[in-house]
Amino acid sequence: MNSSNEIKTVVFPVAGIGSRFLPVTKMVPKELLPILNRPLIEYAINEAKEAGIEKFIFVISPEKKSIINYFKKDEKLESILRKKNPALLEQVANNLILDDSLIEVIQEEPLGLGHAIWCARDFIDGPFAVILPDDLIISKVSCIKQMIDAYEEHKSNVIAVQEVDTIDISKYGVINYSKNSKNFYFIEDMVEKPSIEEAPSNLAIIGRYILMPNIMNALSTKKVGYGGEIQLTDAIKSTINNDGVVGYKFEGNRYDCGNIVGALEAQLSVAINNSKYRDQVIKIINKSLK
């Protein structure tokens, strides 16, 4: 897709251990868990492609190379399909293959999301997008495209925010803002996983960011934060007075596929909104409820 914006690079930090999805994540990275017949990471790639992104940086752990293989040509499978079922060839067609536009970076140890982003520093030469694939966002306009448009308007770091129920607030980074206009919130502070009493608002940080390259300087201090990890939130917070940080309330439905119930909700919602599966799924749900 042609796009005139300056942001052409996305980083996918996918080197976490996926502990909430153990034991399956012992063998299958959570980014490869399917929603219908496509892995989560493919939804994230499509979201980025719709925003005109051309360079895809994957920060993986040495154990998660299968994520990269998903976007490589599989000559053996293609030759089998050609003989046995050529109609299925389009399922592994060229538009899935990233080749030269894919960059693989290794994070040897899961030291935190901030550290994962820092691992991509050699390939960053301007503002860039970050997508956490386990936050699946289904929207009319690609969420990261909405964020890029927000960046074009404000020329500052942009982070996606969403109102969440008070009971869930301590699972998230939460923003404190001075003022807002339309869907933009001008951020003054950010708190990682606050208690209900400490939460400065009900606006939680969701896994989409547009970051200015300066963030790499902030991350290079490798300051350890909440949970003993190098937190991206801390680094972004340290740029508030220089680059500025805007929270953007995006349009769309977000599913937290990093946990089992969120992933189930995503499966059901995507299936029910697909005419091919809708009736069958509703039938199954009704039967199960009896």
Of the candidates 9, 71, 105, 107, which one interacts with ligand UTP according to CB under 6 A?
Answer: 107
Nearer to ligand UTP, 59 or 212 (CB): 59
Q: Is residue 14 a contact point for ligand UTP (CB under 6 A)?
A: yes
Q: What gap in Å lies between CA 40 and CA 38, rounded to an integer?
A: 7
Nearer to ligand UTP, 157 or 271 (CB): 157
The span of 9-17, 152-160, 181-189, 268-276 binding ligand UTP (CB under 6 A) equals 9-17
Q: Is residue 15 a contact point for ligand UTP (CB under 6 A)?
A: yes
Q: What gap in Å lies between CA 46 and CA 9, rounded to an integer?
A: 14
Of the candidates 10, 18, 156, 234, which one interacts with ligand UTP according to CB under 6 A?
Answer: 18
Write the CA distances from 116 to 14, 22, 229, 235, integer angstroms.
Answer: 8, 21, 11, 12
- Per-residue x/- marks for ligand UTP, 210-249, CB under 6 A? ----------------------------------------
Of the candidates 7, 44, 116, 158, which one interacts with ligand UTP according to CB under 6 A?
Answer: 116
Q: Is residue 194 a contact point for ligand UTP (CB under 6 A)?
A: no
In the complex, the smallest distance separating the C-beta of residue 22 from ligand UTP, rounded to whole angstroms, is 8
- Strands 203-211 and 102-106 turn out to be unpaired
Q: What gap in Å lies between CA 274 and CA 269, rounded to an integer?
A: 9
Helices (H), the chain: 40-50, 66-69, 75-84, 113-118, 143-154, 215-220, 232-237, 260-272, 278-289
What is the C-alpha radius of gyration for the chain, rounded to an integer number of angstroms? 19
- Strands 102-106 and 184-192 turn out to be unpaired
Of the candidates 1, 6, 19, 284, which one interacts with ligand UTP according to CB under 6 A?
Answer: 19
DSSP state of 268: H
Q: Is residue 132 a contact point for ligand UTP (CB under 6 A)?
A: yes
The span of 12-20, 157-165, 193-201, 237-245 binding ligand UTP (CB under 6 A) equals 12-20
Q: Is residue 156 a contact point for ligand UTP (CB under 6 A)?
A: no
Cis amide bond preceding 29, omega within 30 = no
Q: Is residue 59 a contact point for ligand UTP (CB under 6 A)?
A: yes
Write the CA distances from 286 to 218, 268, 272, 277, integer angstroms.
Answer: 52, 13, 13, 14
Q: Is residue 173 a contact point for ligand UTP (CB under 6 A)?
A: no
10 Å Cβ neighbour count for 29?
26
Q: Which positions lie near ligand UTP, rule CB under 6 A?
A: 13-20, 59, 107, 110-113, 115-116, 132, 134, 258
